Structure 1
Amino acid sequence: MSTQNFTVREAGALRPRLREGLRFSIQQQAGERVCMIEDPAASRFHRIGLVEHRFVSALDGRKTVAGVLAQLAREGGTLVSEAEAMQIVHWLKEQNLLAVDSVRGSNTDREMREQVARAAATWLNPLVCKIPLFRPDAFFARVEPLLRPLLGWAGLLFWLAILITGAVHVAMEWPRFQADGEGLLSRDNWLWIFLAWTLLKVAHEFSHGLFCKHYGATVREAGAILVVFVPMGYVDATASIGLASRWRRMMISAAGLYMEFFLAAVAAIVWARTEPGSLHTLAHHMVIIGTVVTLFFNANPLMRFDGYYLLSDFLEVPNLATRGRQWLHRAFLALLTGGKQATPLRPRTREEWITAVYGCAAWVWQILVLVGLLLVASIALRGGGLLLAIVGGILWFAIPLLRFWSMMTKAIRSGSGSVFTLVWRSALLLALAGAVLFFPWRRTIGSDGVVELADTRVLHAECPGFIVRELVQDGDLVQEGQLLVELANDEATAELAERKLALAQQELRARLAYTRDDMAAFQSQQIRTAALRREIAEREAFLATMQIRAPFTGRVTNRQLGRRQGVFAHAGDEILRVGRDGEFEVKLAVRERDESAFRGKIDQPCEVRLPARESVASGLVSRVEARATRTPTHPALTALAGGPLPMRRAEEHTQGQDDSSPAYELAEPYFAATVHLSERTDLLPGEMARVRFRDAHPTSLWSETNRRLAQWIQRVTSGSGGGQSGT
């Protein structure tokens, strides 16, 4: 006789009795009435039908299963069959809902070992650790009456008003908000991130407990969860599952998000109304953590946080994660062993489809999160992080794999599937996974650029002044030395006239000293005269730059030519461009991660796509600058002109160090590169282009993921974006 499962004879002789402390409630779910069994000791809930509830509630330990069925038959109504009764008793035992003295068998030691193993995996896992701290129910019972007025419609309207106000403040200052986020995870910001995180998460869990108590449920436990040593609080609000109203359950699940969004909006208002400083930095980090981070983690339905319980209640599918995982286990079991399942795998109802889809999606997401945490720990924490990642990975995978292995061995022993099928299908899946992760391939490198005339030279205003004459139009052919644009600066001209007058007076003083034979005074006056002449020569040369001439024979390009007369040009402003006629090149902005690939492509052909013409040209990479810069390669590439490169407010301009500096700069450094187009002569300067080619060095999905993740960690923790090649 097996000790692992009930036999019909054993079950029929049992006098099962439910554990003390279980609570039953009737709810409406998916259009039908069901019974929810609450197990307060384990903080778990179970759903059964009303027919099953009638049978379960009659298990008092005095009658056998057959006796219970006979009694229910005499009372009349819908009954479960004897086989279904056996299954229910077996399920109650597996869920630890029966009193220990009512169950015979040798499963207790095995179940105890499994519980000890699960507890060890929870406490010893260095990447995720849950630490219960206290029971907060009495605290919330005292606080809830004081805050009750804020938990109704008035509080909701106030919440909406603050949320809209905060969003408007951030939208109006979006470039500055982006600039303040540069180097968010740098070491200098760790203290502010920790403070912002702590404040938000304490408020998050407080809100869960407050709404849970407000709707009449018990708040059993509160504590902390460490995820890669990052503290995250938790409040056990699972008692809310027993509430009959699903909208109240959903509000309790959303209470943490509700509070964090409110505090993030308040922080946004504070950030917008304060100058750079400690409070300004703390408020900025609270906005980021209270919105982006909260949405990514807490609102994500694929993780068992707030978003999961919201989705489960909204779809009216309880235990969605557990049932999805069970369906996935059965699917993998059938796939690997080839055996037939007692329950059909193909979903037939809406609830079964939701369960199957969620199970697959949650499994993929958990794998991605697990691998991501392991990679972050191994990269960010160096050698010690790698050791933690290995230990955490083993603990995370060990129990699920052992449980799944136990399921497969049972299936094979029962005749459902074969060892041969298990071996070759497992080997095939491992081979496919290895091929996806480690198969070498050459990635496509791409960068956006702008078509220009070859050897284009940008002519800037050296001396500020008003544009008084534009002697050429966009696209005109010009000769070397030809006058193109003339500027005027009356103030600089007047200063030059004053210096010339001062020179004339100085020369007169020198002649007077000479006629008096005062050689000492004459030599002194001569020195001053020479200094004035040098100053005048420099001023004349400076004013001569207001006559902008062609540096070589070519074609001018600037769509604003002919429309800027009377406009004031600051020093450094672009006036026009001159390039070689009939020859074209593409000016590129290359990301730091692609710099080495472009540098290795110098003097080699590449593909140039011209979206406006829907055509492809052939080019040759001719140059890659030695240093990365935040100065745009071409204005058309920036987001301000509708291009792909994001911008931020320039640090010098923000700090007021130099009013003539550009107001905006690139959000991250780029390398300027040039691709020569030898075959096309029908292009127009200013056309957008995209350069593409295959990287010469093969890579794999695994190595590429590691490389990009390492670059991202370095960028967000450095606080500066670099400025030189990382090669």
Structure 2
Amino acid sequence: MTAAATLPPLRQDLSLHAGPPDPDGAPTWTLHDPAAHRFHQLSWPAFELISRWPLGRPDAVLAAVARETTLALQAHDLQAVLQFLTQHHLLLPHSAEHSRRLARAADASRSSHAMWLLKHYLFFRIPLLRPEPLLRRLLPLTRGLFRPGFWWGVAAAALLGLFLVSRRWDEFTHTFSAYTSPGGLLGVGIALSLAKVLHELGHALTAYRHGCRVPAMGVAFLVLWPVLYTDTNEAWKLSRRQQRLQIAAAGMLAELALAAAATLAWSFLPDGPLRAGAFLLATSSWLITLGINASPFMRFDGYFLLVDALNLPNLHERAFAQGRWWLREALYGFGDTPPEAFPPARQRFLIAFAFATWLYRLVLFFGIALLVYHLFFKALGLLMMAVELGWFIALPVWRELKVWWERRGELRWNRATARSLGVALGLCLWVLLPWQRGVTAPAVLSHSESQALYAAETARQTGAAVPEGATVTAGQLLVRLTSPELEQRLKVASLQEALLRWQVEQQPLDSRLLQEGQALHQRWQAAREEVAGLGRQRGQLEVRAPFAGTIVTAHPMLADNAWFTRGERLFQIVGAAGSLKVEALVDETDLATLRHREPGPSRFIANLPEFGSVACATVQLDAVNLRSLTQPALASVYGGPVSAVQQGQELRPLNATYRARLTDCERHTLDRELAGQVWLQGERRSLAAAAWLHIVAWFRREAAL
């Protein structure tokens, strides 16, 4: 740029606003572009140059800055500001080349119909309300909400509500299960909608109170999922960071205040949909506010709070730039300078924040892709899942790989490339070599012979019982119970049977009885069967050992004249030999590996660390997958690792599951069944082969649905 050159004019609609000082204490300003509705933060030198831009000539601008400030700026500083203004289209068209550049930018911003549909499927907004007239009327009525006394009251209500809930915790956690009716679900929907409306009103009222314009409120669709939004972009005009922090936090504070009131109200409301709604507000508002809105890894409230707290606008983009720079230097040692100069501690934070955000988004977007796949029919679900994975996960990775490929000519043999090559070779060997020889599966360890003995009826103990730890023989009497009710029923049934027997015997001699014919014999037969059945029930009250073994547990209340209810467990007896068995559950992807297993022991490892492990020599695999699970401890509905659902009285596995029986196990003292994991020796395979088997099994399973 020569001294004779003329600076292109700025657009007349731009405006400058004072901003908060940067971390070094230097003043900053915000440049507002109303046409694009963007805000650009300016440093002190950039502000001084732009504020004197109307002077028109570079030498005049630089001379004015030198004369009127303590800055000593050069032509390259002015050139950098000119490039910034040109890049963001903040200058009036002043030449044919400038007009052509604007035309090219407009053409580049246009997208094909497919790309337009893709972008608007992933995210689009529908403004529904221009809220400023409403905010103008609400502001005088809500002034008390911005006073410290109100928030001290909210804190007191929250503490009191949590204290009352802690005294009825079991009732609180089971509140919502009783309200799955249409009326209860309607109350749930109303409660969630109320919370989200108050959240957005909190942002809007706080922004309007601080003098910002709130042009629109509406609904944004993120992957077709509706979320409310409020346009508070003008918060960047505010020069006080505290005001911007209040606007960003207002939505979460509104929800937390609602959650505090709902938690307190739950303790006083009667059962019904209203109480279910209070429960949902008291739980979802806490969880959603703290778990989602407070997260800085997406552009929710937590992100903007962190941006204002650190005074780092465009935090994600700047952190990602630092993360990409660090990754390239760690892998290839290009020797690039960092994209921005930060103190070492701040730079380390940005790099760690970038990797944490990438990991968070990887898990989140993969979960959304699976959710979308299962919400729609197969063809549409598969297409939408591919779009999710491609746009949010594959495309960013492809862009970075493309940069690596374009810079392949800059690669040199250095410490970074040697380290990267060694790590890559190690990973390849770890993934491709068949070093894995076993399969780990959930399992239950128990005695080969084990049986629980229960009270057949509500009854009273008569006499002494065999103590715990005693060795018993098959058929030995363990305890005798008597049931007065059963004895009375048996006595009545015996008298009835005796009467009917006498009538049958007298039937040939009595014409009245003779008229009843065969029906009398059938009633007598029924009475005899009832007496026999009640006799068998009385016999079951004599609890006997089903086989020779040892009583490992006995009811602690066993004593003469003690009462026990029907179905109450009295004894647990195991076989005298003390042999153990293991039942393991393996999925179909591991089945092929185990069918070609090499001879060798398998080992059960209990979830109870102090128990240790047990080796077993023999493994038998079922050829047919299980229809129902016989080990409830392994089912997911009871906290186990096997995905299952409750259907009536059965536990049905969601995936194809096969049983492996392990016998000839080591002797070990065992007083009850133990859940754990079993290591089964199988055919050697690599991690890549195992992953391929899982993918093939998933495709087969989904294709069969």
Matched, 1:545 2:540: yes
Matched, 1:462 2:460: no
Aligned to 1:69: 62
Aligned to 1:383: 379
Aligned to 2:409: 418
Post-superposition Cα deviations, 1:82-134, rounded to whole Å, max 9, x if no partner, equal: 32332233223334444444997453233323433599956642541222415
Letter in 1 for 2:610: A
Equivalent position SS for 1:582: coil
**In structure 2, do the counterparts of structure 1 residues 394 and 501 end up closer, same or farther at CA, with 3 Å as the change threshold?**
closer
Q: CA deviation at 1:544?
A: 1.7
Between the aligned partners of 1:260 and 1:491, the Cα distance in structure 2 is 59
Q: CA deviation at 1:207?
A: 2.4
Matched, 1:44 2:38: yes
1:139 to 134, 137, 154: 134
1:27/1:34 contact within 8 Å kept: yes
Letter in 2 for 1:149: G
2:670 to 684, 707, 711: 684
Matches within 5 A, 1:5-20: 8-9=1-2, 13-17=6-10, 19-20=12-13
Q: CA deviation at 1:15?
A: 4.8
TM-score by length of 1: 0.75
Aligned to 1:3: none
**In structure 2, do the counterparts of structure 1 residues 398 and 473 end up closer, same or farther at CA, with 3 Å as the change threshold?**
closer
Aligned to 1:718: none
2:614/2:665 contact within 8 Å kept: no
Aligned to 2:87: 94
Matched, 1:223 2:218: yes
Equivalent position SS for 2:212: coil
Between the aligned partners of 2:382 and 2:425, the Cα distance in structure 1 is 26
1:200/1:286 contact within 8 Å kept: yes
Between the aligned partners of 2:693 and 2:136, the Cα distance in structure 1 is 53
Equivalent position SS for 2:448: strand
Q: CA deviation at 1:482?
A: 0.6
Post-superposition Cα deviations, 1:53-82, rounded to whole Å, max 9, x if no partner, equal: 3333222x2332321121122224234343
Aligned to 2:578: 583
1:486 to 464, 480, 488: 480
Between the aligned partners of 2:559 and 2:101, the Cα distance in structure 1 is 90
Matches within 5 A, 1:101-250: 101=94, 105=98, 106-117=100-111, 124-125=118-119, 127-133=121-127, 134-160=129-155, 163=158, 168=165, 171-173=169-171, 176=174, 198-250=193-245
Q: CA deviation at 1:29?
A: 4.8
1:176/1:649 contact within 8 Å kept: no
Aligned to 1:627: 627
Between the aligned partners of 2:637 and 2:366, the Cα distance in structure 1 is 35
**In structure 2, do the counterparts of structure 1 residues 495 and 683 end up closer, same or farther at CA, with 3 Å as the change threshold?**
same
1:646/1:667 contact within 8 Å kept: no
Matched, 1:299 2:259: no
Post-superposition Cα deviations, 1:527-556, rounded to whole Å, max 9, x if no partner, equal: 544433322221121122111111111122
**In structure 2, do the counterparts of structure 1 residues 190 and 321 end up closer, same or farther at CA, with 3 Å as the change threshold?**
farther
Between the aligned partners of 2:267 and 2:590, the Cα distance in structure 1 is 41
Post-superposition Cα deviations, 1:298-356, rounded to whole Å, max 9, x if no partner, equal: 22211111121122233343321121133245456667886443447896433322222
Q: CA deviation at 1:358?
A: 2.0
Equivalent position SS for 1:139: helix
Letter in 1 for 2:28: C
Between the aligned partners of 1:266 and 1:706, the Cα distance in structure 2 is 52
Equivalent position SS for 1:471: coil
Letter in 1 for 2:251: G
1:460/1:575 contact within 8 Å kept: yes
Post-superposition Cα deviations, 1:258-282, rounded to whole Å, max 9, x if no partner, equal: 3344555666766996667x76776
Between the aligned partners of 2:213 and 2:389, the Cα distance in structure 1 is 35
Between the aligned partners of 1:703 and 1:197, the Cα distance in structure 2 is 42
Gaps in structure 2 of 5+ consecutive residues: none
Aligned to 1:499: 493
Equivalent position SS for 1:220: coil
1:208/1:252 contact within 8 Å kept: yes
Between the aligned partners of 1:490 and 1:139, the Cα distance in structure 2 is 77
TM-score by length of 2: 0.77
Equivalent position SS for 2:28: strand
1:250/1:310 contact within 8 Å kept: yes
Between the aligned partners of 1:583 and 1:272, the Cα distance in structure 2 is 56
Letter in 2 for 1:497: K
2:203/2:230 contact within 8 Å kept: yes
Equivalent position SS for 1:579: strand
Indicate the larger mover: 357-366 or 388-397. 388-397
Equivalent position SS for 1:418: helix
1:586/1:689 contact within 8 Å kept: no
Q: CA deviation at 1:359?
A: 2.3
Equivalent position SS for 1:583: coil
**In structure 2, do the counterparts of structure 1 residues 291 and 540 end up closer, same or farther at CA, with 3 Å as the change threshold?**
same
Between the aligned partners of 1:279 and 1:480, the Cα distance in structure 2 is 60
Q: CA deviation at 1:679?
A: 4.0
Between the aligned partners of 1:103 and 1:189, the Cα distance in structure 2 is 66
Between the aligned partners of 1:608 and 1:136, the Cα distance in structure 2 is 65
Between the aligned partners of 2:692 and 2:292, the Cα distance in structure 1 is 24
Aligned to 2:615: 617
Q: CA deviation at 1:477?
A: 1.4
Aligned to 1:655: none
Aligned to 2:364: 369
Between the aligned partners of 1:397 and 1:263, the Cα distance in structure 2 is 36
Letter in 2 for 1:384: L
Indicate the larger mover: 99-108 or 220-229. 99-108
Report sequence identity in percent.
21
Aligned to 2:307: 312
Post-superposition Cα deviations, 1:277-297, rounded to whole Å, max 9, x if no partner, equal: x76776676666544455443
Indicate the larger mover: 259-268 or 42-51. 259-268
**In structure 2, do the counterparts of structure 1 residues 154 and 606 end up closer, same or farther at CA, with 3 Å as the change threshold?**
farther
**In structure 2, do the counterparts of structure 1 residues 126 and 559 end up closer, same or farther at CA, with 3 Å as the change threshold?**
farther
**In structure 2, do the counterparts of structure 1 residues 676 and 632 end up closer, same or farther at CA, with 3 Å as the change threshold?**
same
**In structure 2, do the counterparts of structure 1 residues 76 and 34 end up closer, same or farther at CA, with 3 Å as the change threshold?**
closer
Matches within 5 A, 1:510-521: 516=510, 518-520=512-514
Q: CA deviation at 1:507?
A: 4.9
Q: CA deviation at 1:189?
A: 11
Indicate the larger mover: 168-177 or 230-239. 168-177
Q: CA deviation at 1:398?
A: 10
CA RMSD of aligned residues (A): 5.3
